[in-house]
Structure formats: structure tokens, C-alpha cells
Structure 1
Amino acid sequence: MHRVTLPPIGTFRAWRDAARSFLAANVPPEQILWGDHATAPDLFSDDSPPSGGGAVSVPRSFIQMAETVVWHSDPERFAHLYAFLWRLRETPHRNLMSDRGDRDLARLRRMEKNVRRCQHKMKAFVRFREIGRPGAARRSFAAWFEPTHHIVEPTADFFVRRFGDMDWRILTPDVSAVFEQGKLSFSEGHAKPDLPEDASEALWITYFQNIFNPARLKVQAMQSEMPKKYWKNLPEAAYIPRMIAEAPMRARAMAEAAPTLPPARVEQLKAQLASCKSAWSGPSEALPKAIRSCTRCPLHCNATQAVLGEGPAQADLMIVGEQPGEMEDLSGRPFVGPAGQLFDQAAAKAELDRETAYVTNAVKHFKFSVRGKRRIHQRSDVSEIEHCRWWLDAEIATVRPKLILAMGATAARSLTGKETGLHARRGTIETGRAGLPVLITFHPAYLLRLSEPEVRKQAEAQFTQDLALAATFVAPDKAPAHSDHLQAFTQEAPSPRAP
């Protein structure tokens, strides 16, 4: 049986050299007793190092883990590391070091995490007090800290980088770090010293109290990040209970003292908010001119003109498309291009008279991108749809139809607030934003894009059926004789036309 006693300073190097010797000599874990300076001696163990053996290859990922785990306070940490290292000889390094289900590796990873957390606490909770003589060439400071693990040696470099222009010492019960004249050294543990008061400490406490926000106080979260075990060595901790007790009163005082907007500014904000709402209040005869001069969104910059709706001013049916195409942009009339021609053909089959309906678009300007000499249609975005809803709502208020036919996703969004699931919603009647019934169907341009004949034929039949449903809804007495299911529908759904 071999015994290894590792020193409190330079622990990792000592463990690494011993583990390398034992591994090269093929000494199994159960034949080694690992300990540190606090471990009781064993009468039957041999302190002499093993001899013989060859080169040893150790994966870098294990070394990185061991460099942290050796500073854990668990007395079995050295044995656990060597036992896992022994297993690495028989298992491919990559497989074992990445096996999250391995119990031994999981234990070492937890120990590694605990050590790193303790290092973080040391960096956050060490409080220096000045101990140097006034007028000395280098200022000198000292701090007392009680870590959970043996982390002074691996953490000292952080303080060297941060406080390299002064002398300091961090004293702990285990190992103390001393930095003097630019050189770092370590010594064994130290009893808690009687450090003098520090004039800068009062300034720090004042700052700590002023950055405390009582409205965001979460005691459990604070104690999780700042455990009570460290409070006794933190000068500001003496004020924490009082700040917690006074937090509700201070939060109420902050709310009462919060600044308010002056009345003039409030009225300006209300006016700006009202200007963004869709609420046309002008006379109906002025609506066409207002739409033609619209600059509410950037689409007017490139389009030829705004395309107005057309049809009877008091139509029972309003038909809403998505936006003008190139032919509509040039002519100034809705649904005169290929999509409009397909609509007219389907309307004739469904016995829907377009001349009796009010036809318009959700977006009034043509949106496109230029490719060579062609203008390619582009879909309107949400902002453009919402800006143009100002005009669509005004048209609805003027026409007051019994039913609105929404053709396409853009029209469905503008009228109902939802554009998804168009295929599932097609042929159904929903209540729109204006409180009127909205019949959802395809846009004729969608039918033109279908390349498979059977799919297009079926979609056109559904589109025609929807147009027939719209015609029957607004004029049940003129329903075709073969449309029994449409007659039954209109008998169950009376006209909701506004008075």
C-alpha cells in the first residue's frame, strides 16, 4: 500500500507528478492512500514513490478538470481523480470525457463547478483595508477571507492583475497570498488579524446604500448570490437587514415621487396616438381625393397612383383584395389584370354580378421590385397593411355592406386581424374588426400560380363556390335552384346590415 501526502501549496503539481509516477508503474487506485497535511498517518503504508514505468499520455480535457478539482475541500478528491485517470487508460479518451451519464465524471464535474463558484465568491467578497504607512512608495492593503475550498493559490493571479501597483495580502485559515514589490508568494494559514479601520470604507458603504433599489429587492436571490456565511467579513453587510426592512416604505416613496408628464405634453402624446388610429372622420365625398394624396407609408413613393375602390356607394357586398397589380397601378382601377379576369370568370359561374358589389383592396398602392424592365409584385408587410387600414375602414363605414368577401391573406389580416390558416378558414364566415361578417376565400392571383391542373381545378371550384355563397348571402331570394346548402345557410344567418 502506497501513501501520498500532498502539500497545501503547489498541490496540483505535487498530485500530477505522483499520479504520473503511479500510472506509469501500473499501480491501481485501491493500492494508494491519498491525503494532505491534515490527514492522519497510516502505519502500514509505504511513503516511497514507485519506480519504473514508461511514458504516460493524458488527455488535455482531463488535465484542465484536474487543475480545478484538486482545490476542492473533499478529502477524497485526489483518490477520485486518480481512479478516473486509471479508467482513462482502458477507455477511449474522447468517449469517457464526454459521457455525461458517467457517475464518476459527473461527480468530478460537480466538484469542478463548486470550486469555480467559490473562486467567483472570493473575487467578489474580498474586502481590503489599508495597513501601510502614510507616504510610503507603495500603498499596502490586507484582507481576511474564509473560503469554502482551497482556492487562494489558483485565484491569486486575478488579484495580481487587478492590483499590481500596490502591495497586498489575502489571509485565510488555510493558505495566505502575499504580493510585495511585484512578487507573489504563498504561506500557510493565518489566524484572523485585527485589521484597522479604513477611511475609504465609509465611502464604499455610502455608495452601496445608494445603489440599492428597494423596488427590485428579492431576498432569496440576493442570498443565493451573496450567502450569509460571507456577511461577517463584509463591512456593508451590517446595513443589509435595515435596508431590507425599509425596502417597502422606500419603494412607496419612490413611486409617489416619480415624475409625471406635464399636461401639455400629455395632450401632444394623445394627439399623436390618435393620428395613428384608423378613424377617418371626413365627409364621404372627400374620401377618394384623400386616398389619392395618401403618404401614410413609403409605398406611395414608387407607385404610379393610388387605386381607389369602385362600385355602388351603398353596396350589399364589398369585395376586398390584397393590393393592386401592375395593370391596376397603370389604369387606376381594381381587378383589371389577369387576376381580375379570372375573378370575373368565376363570378359569372357563381351568378355574382360584380357591378352590384363594391370592389377595393386592403392596400391602395402597388408594391414591387424592379428586375430589368419588369416590375415584380411584392407582398405588403404588416406596417403597410395597418397604415392602409385607415382607408379600408373608411370605405366600410361609407358602404356599410351586409357581407365583406376577403380574398387572400392580406385582406384577411386587415379585416379580421389574422392572416394564418387561410386554407382551413376558406369558405367560412367570421366576424370582422368592424363587427360585420367576413367571408374568407382565396385570392385569384393564388389560383394563377398553381401549376398542377388538378390542384388548380379543385381550387377554382372552391373559389367559385365561395363567390356563390357570397351572392346568396346578400340576396337569398336570387339563389340558384341547385344551391340548396346555400339557401339553408342564409336561412340560419340573417343579414347583419347596420342601420
Structure 2
Amino acid sequence: MPQTTISLDHPLDFARWRTATRTLAGQHVPPDDIAWHVAPSGGPDAPMPDAHPFRIPRETMQLAADVLQSMLPDRFTLAYRLVYAHVTGTDVPPAELARMEAAAAGVRAETARLRHGLFTLMQRTDGDGAWHATCDAATYAPECNARFITFQLSLAPWRLALPGRRMEWTGHELLHGHDGADASPLAFNSLPPPAMPLVDGLDIARITALPAVALAARTCRICPMARHATRTVFGEGRSDARMMFVGEQPGDREDLAGRPFVGPAGQLFDRALHAAGIDRDDAYVTNTVKHFKFRRSGTRRIHEKAGPAEIANCAPWLAAERRIIRPHVLVMLGGTAASALLGRPVTIGRERSRAITLGDGATGVVTVHPSFLLRVPDEAARGREYDHFVADLRLAASLCAPARA
């Protein structure tokens, strides 16, 4: 007979399952001694006793999360058994492991179908403009892809009818309910992670809301930089900005703050903007690459130049920023940004300080990155370079058309 009962708030309550699993597996409580019971508590997690800490490989936890998205009646026990076996150095019975792998394969397949067929599945209503669909799902994959759906549909309201249940994004919160019962809020972070990384299958070119692009970009783990950096540093500023500034990548300060151009180069950049008569609050500021690439030297993190692979991986995010904002003037700060946006090698000395007509009708201006000014050793030369940089910014400001109505 089970000696421990764990109550979960809903059939996909990964958050409480994980909290309980960390404690119980750390205490080596056998799977057969635990009963998992779905009964909404409406309250915070009950304190759990201390247990020995442990680490679980990412692949193991993802398999457990995939199993929890299946509709196997004993899925909570199976997922727990997977973690318990790793902690105790025991084996999962082959028959149970086969059931888990088969269930996970079904979840992955349904996740792929949902993502790749989302715009075929979803239809827009004439009344309130919300997206809606009926989905004959055999797993809980739709719930675990609610964040993907929300980002892909540009944060617009949507409704999804599922077998015996329904799900809705109101534009502000996610609601979930079973047929015949009122829907209640469902926290995104209480759900198991989807069987595919969030950006897999995401059609970034179809997202029309800048906040949706920014939120999606913060989940990106495509390149190794994303796994080492503290956070994604997306652009910031007005979504209708007439002037857009693009640098290379965030630095150490930006990585820690989660904002572009806030370190020493950013402070110099702000001073130069002021000297050129440009209000940063009226512009949009971003980087070609959204993560900090660095090497360690003791406790310091030393900037390393972004390579072609990292620039290519981040290109869809920069393209989305540019497409949504539609700047009249695009200022390229440094060779990396200029090469990425012009699609060819760029020598700053030959390209800077002139207007360049871009393919989308915007006007481009190439100049140095403000960090270059910090590296000029001679004070007199640094002053001349700073004045040249300010002159480039004034040129860019002079090329701006009147604000869009």
C-alpha cells in the first residue's frame, strides 16, 4: 500500500510533480510507496522535508516530461520511476521503459503535427478576431504547446476544443477546463516542457507582434552561446521607431542586465546620441546576435567576436525586428552588423558616413561600434573619432522621414 500521497492541481501539474520528486527520490522512496492524486488544492505547495540533492541528465528529465504529456493512467508513477532509477543506480524494468518510450514517441509525433499544421488547423473568427480550432488530440501535447501557439499567433486570443476539454488564451491568461465545468487559469510554468524546443517549427516570419518575437527569442537555445550566456538580450525601444540601431552582440554588462547597450560602450553611445540630438527613447536598439559570446580568463568574461554560424542562427530574430518595426533609417554599428545586414563583407572606412539604399526601401548608414572608441589609446585621436561618430549619427537623424501617422 502506498505510504505517501501527493496531490497535484491538474492532470499536467509538472511543477508539483517535480518538487515532490526531488524530495522523494532524494530520500530513496520507492515508486510503489507513492500515490499521485489529482485534486486542486488552491493553495501553495506544502513544505517538503529536506533530501539529498541530485542532478538528472537533461535527456532523462525530458523523457519524464514527455511521459507526463501522455494519457497513460500511471504516467506520474512511470515518470517518477525514471528519476528514481537514476538516483538509486537501479534499472527501470524493460517493459515499463518500453511503455515510456512508446508514449513519448506519440507525444513527440503529435507535437510535430500540431506545430507544422497550426495555421491549417486554426481559423480566424470574424467577430472578435480570435483564432479557433478543434483538435482530435490523443495526448496532452496541445496544452504543453500553449506557449508555442500563443507566440506563433502573435499573442492574439485563441480557442482550442480538445476531446473532453478545452483551452483558451484570452490575450492575458491561459484558461483550461473539462467539458461541463468552468475553465480556470492554467499557469504556463506549471506544465511539462514541450517535447520539442519552443523555437522548433516556429515560423518567425509570420509573427506580427514584437513582444511575441521577444518572448520567443528568450527561449532560443539553437546555438552554444545560448547555453553559456546568462540570458537572451533582445532589442528594446519603440515598435514604430523611425531609426533602428544594430550592434554586434551584448557584452558582459548587457548579459547580466538583459538589456542592450548598458555597459561602458552603451554609456558612450547614449552620450553620442544626446550630442547628435537623438532621443534613445524614440529609437530601437538591438544587436545582430542576441547572446554574449565570451571566453573565461579567471573570473572575467572576455568578449569574443561572433562567427558566421552564430550570426546565421540569430538572423531570423533580427529580420523579424526589422520587418515589424520598419525603420526609415537603419544605423549599422560596426563591421559585424554592417556585413550581416548588407549581406557582403564590409570595410568600415569605405562604407561609413554616407546614405545606402537598402532592399526594403530603408536608408542605411554604416559607422563604427561605440566600443571601438573605447579602444583608441590616444586621447586626441579618441576625441576626433568621437566627433566623427557623432557626425554619423547626425547624418542618420537628418535622413529620417517625418513620423508615421
Query: What's the TM-score once normalised by structure 2's chain length?
Result: 0.48
Greater Rg over alpha carbons, structure? 1
Q: Write 1 or 2 for the structure with the bigger share of helix.
A: 1
| Higher relative contact order (CA closer than 8 Å, sequence separation 6+) | 2
TM-score by length of 1: 0.39
